[in-house]
Chain A
Amino acid sequence: MVWILLKKQLLEVWRGYFFDAKTGNARSKASTAIRFALFALLMVVVLGGMFTGLSIVICDPLTSSGTGWLYFVIMGAIAVLLGAFGAALNSFSSIYMAKDNDLLLSLPIPIKTILISRLLNVYLLGLMYTVVVLVPTLIVHWVTVELNVALVMTSLIWAILITALVLALSCLIGWVIAKINLKFRRKSFVAVFGVLVFLVLYFLFVSSFGNLIEDIATNVIYYGELVQESSSLLYWFGLAADGGWLALAGFAAVCAVLLALTWILISRSFLHIATSSGKQKKAVYREKATKQKSPASALLMKEFTRFTSSANYMINTGLGIVFLVLAGALILWQGSTISVSLHLFFAGIPGATAILLTTCICMMSVMIDTAAPSVSLEGKSLWIVRSLPVSSWQILQSKVNMQYILTAVPALFCSVCAVIAVSCTLMEALMLLLVPQVFALFQSHCDLTLGVLWPNLTWTSEVVPIKRGMAIFLSLIIGAVSGLVLGGVFFLVGHITGFTLYFIIVIAIFCAATVALRLWLKRSGCRRFEAL
């Protein structure tokens, strides 16, 4: 039974790879293989490559000085953080918020079995995140040091135990989120706030991480003694992988106890949380006059209500808004320093500062991609808009408009801050102000096109279209590539065309692409939408 339930969940997660969401037909083997190859490319080459590089940098200095355990402390901590926080929101959504909870609970399936299948699903996602850190960690270590059986065995068992630890931690974080979700009325905003606090801490950590690693690599003995003296727990955690059998037994015991406690906590609270609507005060209805809106603004408001009602939607598709605002404030604050540094660095290339800042603004805009999952998010409610006296284009336009508004306003703020803080010519100022706006227009049309091309209306958890859809994946890739090309090409051909001509060409290309996408959406896009 567990296997049947797990298979159902896995099929939902990977369904897009095997079946066409629109027709329900199985994809060709080649099409499935390409999808998996792209995914593997992202996981193995991009993420795996990053952690392989880090392992190579720190493994040799740490192991050669006899503090191999510190290597495992650093890499293990990264694996735990990445895995636990990566899978936490998933554990909340897939354990407590799954739309088929009621259905499964009504079937003659023991609750324990449902829960085990859900936990296995969370485990597999956590595994996916941790493996990209742990595999390079182990391989680099085995290549660097003189191997013996004990070392291989302890490091392997340690890695397996880490995946169990990640499962326990992600479930516990998911449980905390579920409890918060039950308590607060404005739960989506509370969740977004929580994620933002986490991100601030994360970026503070990442910004000092490079220096810290460099420092550790050059002062191995000092840091080794420091960790050993101040935190014996960390020391034992690292030693467990470095041939310390006793430490490994201790680590295994800790993981076992934590897993058991997590199981007890989750199995006892699952039914209550999954079936509870929260201890909220009933909202009292007071009749009041409501201003009449046009159909277009009603559709737009509907999109905004959808966006602000879901923490998952806001966090995964709207984070760029926060980044753009923070970047604008940072530019205002450190504008003169940024300006001087960039002018010094790119002294011989007129317009380079404006191009770089414009590229940065566009790259942050890419993280706002609300339109990509918006068609899929209509889900089973699609009949509503389809039965209303509005055209398909009006429906699609409201989705484009929301993303454009969400991107254009903070991007304009960031651009204005840049123009104020960084000394630039009139043409450079125009580029800083105009290009991000045109890019936002292009990106919102592009994202909706992807959403129409890869819809998924049969999800049981909204996380599926928001986080795992092909539309959202391609949106990030296309956006990032477009942004990078915008900046990169200037440094290749900018000296030939000159800044002004390059600026005009960029505007023309994005405008032409936007018009082409808009025409496609108005004709083929609407037809595809109507056939859903």
Chain B
Amino acid sequence: MLRIENLTKTFGEKVAVDNLSLHIAPGEIYGFIGHNGAGKTTTLRSVAGIQEFDNGRILINGTSIVDDPIACKSQMAYIPDNPDLYEFMSGIKYLNFIANIFGVSEELRQERIRDLAGRLELTDDLAQPIATYSHGMKQKLALISAWLHDPKLIVMDEPFVGLDPKASFLMKGMMREACDHGAAIFFSTHVLEVAEKLCDKVAIIKQGRLIRSGTMEEVKGDESLESVFLELEAQ
């Protein structure tokens, strides 16, 4: 579903991502962990097609994000670490805007909005302007908008930040459900306990370089993900 080959991105003299390669198959939840400034967000933004990169290839379902960005973007959804949404719109207007862009039919969008907003308990606030939303509510709205068009690849940067415990629990269920239906999820997190329980595969990045990746068992062995991560960070 997602293949990253030798991705390199520099900002001035700083190498943010250094020759990074990853492969994420359909049905996989892939965790991406690393300290602050390790290059996670740059990688995720490059995958989402909103960050130009210097070298390498990013293929979504076999299509290069550089050669055909629209075909790639129509198959995926992206949620940044800080969901700055259109504050001048109401929640429902924003969802309809996203649905229109992705060509979601009237019936389908109505059904999905009802289902997703109901599950995340946002239905009563959909008519309110986004400017009045809390961080958590914006995060929930961003989640609904991401799930609205049934994407094949979901890319998320720190998706659990700001969510209340119930919403976090629901979201984990939604992630697993999406993958069971064949989608792939690539997300960054600092919550290693969540990553350990939720992810099928995990990649650890340090100073732009991939230092370990594979299935959860391959990466952590008998230890906890936290101790492996701290050990690798200390090296």
Indicate whether A and B interact.
yes
Q: Which chain B residues lie closer than 8 Å to A282 at the CB level?
A: 128
Indicate which residue in B52, B101, B105 contacts A531 across the interface (CB closer than 8 Å): B52
Whether A203 is near chain B, meaning CB under 8 Å from some CB there, is: no
Cα A302 to Cα B96 in complex, Å, equals: 11
Whether A106 is near chain B, meaning CB under 8 Å from some CB there, is: no
Cα A389 to Cα B101 in complex, Å, equals: 7
Question: What is the chain A residue whose CB lies nearest that of B96?
Answer: A290
Question: What is the chain A residue whose CB lies nearest that of B108?
Answer: A292
What band does the interface of chain B fall in when counting residues whose beta carbon is under 8 Å from A?
35 or more
Q: Chain B 97-134, CB within 8 Å of chain A: the 1/0 string? A: 11111111111011001100000000111111101100
Whether A289 pairs with B110 at a CB distance below 8 angstroms is: yes
Q: Which chain A residues lie closer than 8 Å to B45 at the CB level?
A: 383
Whether B74 is near chain A, meaning CB under 8 Å from some CB there, is: yes
Whether B84 pairs with A310 at a CB distance below 8 angstroms is: no
Q: Which chain B residues lie closer than 8 Å to A306 at the CB level?
A: 86, 88
Q: Chain B 53-93, CB within 8 Å of chain A: the 1/0 string? A: 00000000000000001111110001010101111111111
Q: Which chain A residues lie closer than 8 Å to B49 at the CB level?
A: 386-387
Cα A389 to Cα B92 in complex, Å, equals: 20
Whether B2 is near chain A, meaning CB under 8 Å from some CB there, is: no
Q: Which chain B residues lie closer than 8 Å to A299 at the CB level?
A: 101
Indicate which residue in A309, A383, A387, A530 contacts B73 across the interface (CB closer than 8 Å): A387
Question: What is the chain B residue whose CB lies nearest that of A298?
Answer: B100
**Contacts A282-B128, A530-B52 hold; do A390 and B101 have CB atoms under 8 A apart?**
yes
Whether A498 is near chain B, meaning CB under 8 Å from some CB there, is: no
Whether A305 pairs with B89 at a CB distance below 8 angstroms is: yes
**Contacts A284-B127, A291-B106, A387-B49 hold; do A310 and B88 have CB atoms under 8 A apart?**
yes
Whether B101 pairs with A388 at a CB distance below 8 angstroms is: yes
Whether B73 pairs with A380 at a CB distance below 8 angstroms is: no
Cα A310 to Cα B87 in complex, Å, equals: 11
The minimal Cβ–Cβ distance linking B159 to chain A, given in whole angstroms, is: 15
Whether B48 is near chain A, meaning CB under 8 Å from some CB there, is: yes
Interface contacts beyond A285-B125, A298-B100, A302-B89: sample of 17 additional A-B pairs, CB < 8 Å, sorted by A: A283-B128, A285-B127, A289-B107, A289-B110, A292-B105, A292-B109, A293-B100, A302-B97, A305-B86, A305-B89, A381-B86, A388-B101, A389-B69, A389-B74, A389-B102, A390-B101, A531-B52
Q: Can you list 19 A-B pairs, Cβ within 8 angstroms, ordered by A? A: A283-B127, A283-B129, A284-B124, A285-B125, A289-B110, A292-B99, A294-B100, A295-B100, A295-B103, A298-B100, A302-B86, A302-B89, A381-B85, A383-B78, A384-B86, A387-B73, A388-B98, A390-B70, A530-B52
